[in-house]
Amino acid sequence: MNNNRRDFIKKGTSLAAGLSIGAVGSAALASENKSGYAGKKVPLPQVEGPNTPKLTMTANSNATESNMKWIKQFGCDYVHMGGPRQLPWTEEGLREIMDRFKAQGLTVINMMINFSGAIIRGTEGRDEEIRKVQDSLIAAGKAGLPVVEYNFYSHRAVEGYYDIVGRGGVQYLGYDYYRKGQPDPADNKWNYKTARKQPDEENMSMAELPPTEREPAQTAAKAWENIEYFLRAVIPVAVKSGVRMALHPNDPPPPISRGSEQIMSTFKDWKRLCDIVDSPANGMTFDCGVSTEIGEDAVEVCKYLLSRDRISHVHYRNVIVEKPRIKYVEVMIDEGKVDMLQVMYELVKGKYKYGIWAEHPRDNEFDTVHKSGGFVSYLYNQSYARAMFQASMMMVAGWKPA
């Protein structure tokens, strides 16, 4: 054995020993490859901490132990989910759910709350329904749930979605406000990707669809009045309970949906929301995909919301926009127009410390054949986000490529 081979084995043994105790960092690697790093040496791997983002995956509240292992085994320590349907939530009910995940090494970081349309429309029974939300926030605080997410749609314009074939046959999701589409006669339940039109609406675009009996038309002025009434009632309770609320902006974000003017479909709207109650508890779900869909630079939107401490949850995905708010395509996370690395870098640099969900998995051959519920696509997104996270952590710590 020559000296070069002996030295290589010796170095390899040292490296393996370091890996076994998690002690190998950039300094150790730099000693093996002098040209590999420039600037400050930083430890590897870069992982989540108290003041860093937390990568999260979606889970069902009654997930099996096997489902939880799927998530944990691929390096994710945090999950989010829809909260109990019955309001108000109780501390005992939330703890029962959260403790099941905790037993598998997973922390529930966010739950979505769904409340009555009386709150959104300001109709009879609103105050009673708001009290249920207030009680739910109190329960969340006692149970240690840091974020409660919610929507405030007068109507969600899902009828404008349609499928597009992407690379290798993967399914992209197109949106066109003016596209005339056909309903799927085999679809008898709500589906995120399938137009939900009635037979007499088959040749109408999203822009032409009339209001429904369940969701009558609402003006923007009325919607703003209702959300202000809601926030002034619940945000003080959230603050006292140590809980942050996260309003997800309109997705899709057209100007009008079945006759209802939309109040969370522009960046100006988002800023106005932040001003209603000046508190970090009055937060948003920052969605870099939606930010791009409305014609904004997602990085600049991220910086603004971080400067106000208003990001309570993040949806991390990519999109190609033809006409803001009107026509765009949701694509694989690695091929759209969003500067995903810069978005992640801003979140890390800004010490954002709540969840990041690499969402909207694209339908693919593997998940379809194996009926895996989109897990492989979610895993692809999660892996991409993990790489962006680690790179951003290293850059913020001072690492630069040679």
Q: Is the Cα torsion angle 32, 35, 38, 44 positive or negative in sign?
A: negative
At 186 the pLDDT is 42
Asked if the model's pLDDT at residue 88 lies above 60, the reply is yes
pLDDT band of 22, cuts 50, 70, 90: very low
The neighbour count for residue 216, using CB atoms within 10 Å, is 14
Average pLDDT over residues 352-367: 95
d(CA 247, CA 312): 9
Burial (CB count <10 Å: 0-12, 13-18, 19+), residue 100: middle
Distance CA 176, CA 246 (A): 27
* pLDDT for position 5: 37
How much is the pLDDT for 193?
46
pLDDT band at 198 (very low <50, low <70, confident <90, very high): low
Between 288 and 15, where is the model more confident? Answer: 288
The domain spans of the chain are 45-400
pLDDT above 80 (res 325)? yes
Dump pLDDT digits (tens) for 258-267.
999 999 999 9
Taking the mean position of all CA atoms in its chain, how far away is CA 291?
Answer: 12
309 pLDDT more than 50: yes
Token representation of residue 259: 């006759």
Question: What pTM, to 2 d.p., does this model score?
Answer: 0.87
262: left (phi over 0), alpha (psi -120 to 50) or beta: beta
For residue 342, give both structure tokens.
Answer: 């810069």
373, pLDDT greater than 60:
yes
pLDDT class for 41, splitting at 50, 70, 90? confident
Confidence of residue 214 (pLDDT cuts 50, 70, 90): confident
Half-sphere CA count of 22, side-chain side, radius 13 A: 3
Q: Are 307 and 270 in contact (CB under 8 A)?
A: no
Among candidate residues 311, 144, 133, 146, the one with its CA nearest the CA of residue 243 = 146
pLDDT tens digits, residue range 24-36?
333 333 333 444 5
pLDDT for residue 37: 55
Q: Is the pLDDT of residue 47 over 80?
A: yes
pLDDT at 16 exceeding the cut of 70: no
Q: Which of 87-91, 99-103, 158-162 has the lowest mean pLDDT?
A: 158-162
Exposed/middle/buried for residue 308 (C-beta within 10 Å: 0-12, 13-18, 19+): middle
- Type of residue at 43: P
Averaged over 56-62, what is the pLDDT?
96
Confidence of residue 14 (pLDDT cuts 50, 70, 90): very low
Q: Does the pLDDT at position 203 exceed 50?
A: yes
Interior CA angle at 192 toward 188 and 196, to 5°? 45
pLDDT at 290 over 60: yes
| Cα of 375 vs its chain's centroid, Å | 16
Question: How far is the CA of 367 from the CAs of 17, 69, 161, 166, 379, in angstroms?
Answer: 38, 18, 21, 15, 11
- Angle at the Cα of 390 (from 385 to 395), degrees rounded to 5? 125
pLDDT given for residue 184 in this prediction: 46
Is residue 15 scored above 70 in pLDDT? no
Interacting residues of 52 by C-beta distance below 8 A, sequence separation 6+: 348, 351, 352, 353, 393
Fold entry, domain 45-400:
TIM Barrel (3.20.20)
pLDDT of residue 372: 87
* pLDDT over threshold 90, residue 23: no
